[in-house]
Amino acid sequence: MLVVAAVFLWSASRAQGQMPKRDAAVSWLYVVPGTVADRYARTLENLGLLPERSAAARDGSEVWMFSAEERGTPEGVSSGAPPWHDVYRTTPSNEKRWGLLPVRTQSSFNTAFPFHRGSGPVWHGKGFTQSLEGGWFGKWGPLALVLNPVWFRAENLDFVLAPTGMDGEGRFRSPLESDAIDIPQRFGDEAYQVLSPGASSLRLNMVGLTVGVSSSPQVWGPGELHPLVMGAVAGGIPHVFVGTSTPFNAWIADLDFRYMAGRTERSRWFGLTGDDRFALLNGFVASIRPRGLPGLQLGVTRLFHQPWPSADGMMRELLKKPFEGILKTGLQGVDERLDDQFASVFARWMVTSAGAEVWLEFVRGDHSVDGRWLLLEPEDFGGYAVGFRKTWRSDSAFTVFHAEGIVSGTTHRERGGARLTSEWGMWGHYPGAIYGNSSYRIGGWTHRGQLLTTSAGPFGNGQSLGVDHYSPNGYWSLSVDRSIVREQPAAARTSGEGVSDVLYVVSGSSTRFLDRWDIGLGIDWVMNLNRHLSRGSDAMNIRLQATVSRRFSVFDR
């Protein structure tokens, strides 16, 4: 498929008149978080061509629930056709409220070790990985249904694993915290394949509220590549939700709210069986849009991850946990609980006249001992992410520059070695990853062996720069990423010299629209410095990717 896509892409670049033909299929753009469609929709927001979405929770179908005629055109939303108007549109027409989603197949090849960036649930091992997705959507009054299953098969070839201190299937576990975080280095020693419901959902919208069931990926907060509490890297989890479908007018501000409860699953290589493989992930996210400050959103999230209840009556108590106090003072038995918790605050400011936005999010492992501890060390077991986007518009094309960074995990005390002996059992011989410090019953902030948050990995430390270009013919993108896989500070090593396992990634991709087809190619150059915390032991990987999509008409041109 890589060769076929290359031939199509080369032919398209030589064709005269790059505009899609008049008989090209115009499809609905299903804005799944973490995908190119999501970045394109965010660009439309930045320019005022799409009504501002809530920064509280993005889960795909919320863009569509009302047609343009039902929503109206909000004040400040500009007119004009965006680049993909003749190929993709964000809202189905009033005349046709059902149709087929594009069928998309992708093939990728990793030369040396597993690697991928972006949304799940597809896991790309060493060697070839093939995936296939497609589906159907329909809307009947306030009820909407999306079915978008995903299948993938990873060849999963052998490579040198980092030592975990375990034999058998335990050798495939994460070297970070092999008994606490479920992110396998390799998913067994055979080909690995999964069929999942993908970004599917059933939701009901009435009187400004929404309720439903979904398996779609979610992003909480303003982060794009580096959300701090809930992201799209692992794909979605099966969950139920309730919240606002449109901002609630509270006079001084508009309010958005979402409560979610879902079930995560441990991979078979983590060693849990039966119902012990499952955990409850539940919490809320809320944001406000203050009057008189257009484009500004302020918000808060709180999310718990805890073992699946084993007795009748436990579920009700667990579902209420996100609304308990943030201090251990007054909470009974909190130190004996097996749950993980994260809470964050965020801000996003979008200026459509400048085609730009900036955002900031701060996250913290929940439950301080008391108020004084919280004031003394608010950054303890915490982190922050910042991001910026700027869009330039020329004729019918958009060019976007974006930058994002995340810093989290160890504090100044931990880097100095304060916890290396006093909390040996929790931290091991070096400070742990922020998303890996967990009970063996939970397996970290993960689902089916993949992280639920940032693409930088469980250490939560990385930076990303990139340029995207959208035109009527398709798009191209270039990016550079750096992330810390894991590290050992000087205080944790007998040599007195710290070491960091660092990943650098340079990526490029391009997609062309050809009649009813989208043909894309991509390449990632990956350099892993000090791989497996071995100083001077570097490894390089090349990942090649080809994507072919077939669009189906939903709109009259």
The domain that holds 487 is classified in CATH as 2.40.160.130
What's phi and psi for 43, nearest 5 deg? -65, -40
How sure is the predictor about 63, in pLDDT bands with cuts at 50, 70 and 90?
low
Which amino acid type is present at position 59?
D
- Which tokens is 420 given? 């290396």
Assigned domain for 414 exists: yes
The reported pLDDT for the residue numbered 10 is: 44
Q: Averaged over 256-272, what is the pLDDT? A: 94
Assigned domain for 70 exists: yes
Q: Are 104 and 148 spatial neighbours (Cβ–Cβ below 8 Å)?
A: no
The reported pLDDT for the residue numbered 61 is: 65
pLDDT over 70 (residue 487): yes
Instruction: Tell me how far apart the alpha carbons of residues 462 and 454 are, in angstroms, rounded to a whole number.
Output: 9
Assigned domain for 343 exists: yes
β-pair partners for 471: 474
Assigned domain for 6 exists: yes
Q: How many independent structural domains does the chain possess? A: 1
Assigned domain for 383 exists: yes
Q: Are 258 and 56 spatial neighbours (Cβ–Cβ below 8 Å)?
A: yes
How sure is the predictor about 99, in pLDDT bands with cuts at 50, 70 and 90?
confident
Q: Within a 10 A sphere around the Cβ of 19, how many other Cβ atoms?
A: 13
Instruction: Tell me how far apart the alpha carbons of residues 510 and 469 are, in angstroms, rounded to a whole number.
Output: 9
* Cα separations in angstroms, 297 against 19, 78, 223, 453: 37, 20, 13, 21
Q: Are 106 and 546 spatial neighbours (Cβ–Cβ below 8 Å)?
A: yes
Q: Are 555 and 67 spatial neighbours (Cβ–Cβ below 8 Å)?
A: no
Write out the H or E segment, with its range, that includes residue 516: none
* pTM reported for the whole predicted model: 0.89
Instruction: Tell me how far apart the alpha carbons of residues 18 and 510 are, in angstroms, rounded to a whole number.
Output: 14
| Cβ neighbours for 196, distance < 8 A, ≥ 6 positions apart | 121, 149, 150, 151, 215, 235
* Cα separations in angstroms, 502 against 59, 114, 192, 425, 492: 31, 15, 27, 26, 18
E-only strand ranges, 420-516: 446-447, 450-451, 462-471, 474-488, 499-514
The reported pLDDT for the residue numbered 216 is: 94
The reported pLDDT for the residue numbered 8 is: 45
pLDDT over 70 (residue 20): no
Instruction: Tell me how far apart the alpha carbons of residues 156 and 127 are, in angstroms, rounded to a whole number.
Output: 6
The reported pLDDT for the residue numbered 409 is: 61
Which amino acid type is present at position 364?
R
Question: Domain span at residue 247?
Answer: 2-550
- Which tokens is 390 given? 């700027």
Q: Are 458 and 185 spatial neighbours (Cβ–Cβ below 8 Å)?
A: no
Burial 102-135 (b: 16+ CB within 10 A, else e): bebbbbbbbebbbbbbebbbbbbbbbbbbbebbb
Instruction: Tell me how far apart the alpha carbons of residues 375 and 407 are, in angstroms, rounded to a whole number.
Output: 20
Assigned domain for 174 exists: yes
What's phi and psi for 51, nearest 5 deg? -55, 140
pLDDT over 50 (residue 70): no
Q: Are 198 and 150 spatial neighbours (Cβ–Cβ below 8 Å)?
A: yes
pLDDT over 70 (residue 547): yes
Q: Are 431 and 409 spatial neighbours (Cβ–Cβ below 8 Å)?
A: yes
How sure is the predictor about 493, in pLDDT bands with cuts at 50, 70 and 90?
low
The reported pLDDT for the residue numbered 442 is: 87
The reported pLDDT for the residue numbered 400 is: 98
pLDDT over 50 (residue 252): yes
β-pair partners for 518: 513, 549
- Which tokens is 552 given? 């189906």
Burial 222-234 (b: 16+ CB within 10 A, else e): bbbbbbbbbbbbb
Assigned domain for 291 exists: yes
Size of the chain, expressed as the number of residues it contains: 557
The tens digit of pLDDT for each residue in 277-301 reads: 999 999 999 999 999 999 999 999 9
Instruction: Tell me how far apart the alpha carbons of residues 475 and 503 are, in angstroms, rounded to a whole number.
Output: 26
- Which tokens is 329 given? 């003072």
Assigned domain for 555 exists: no
Q: Averaged over 39-44, what is the pLDDT? A: 94
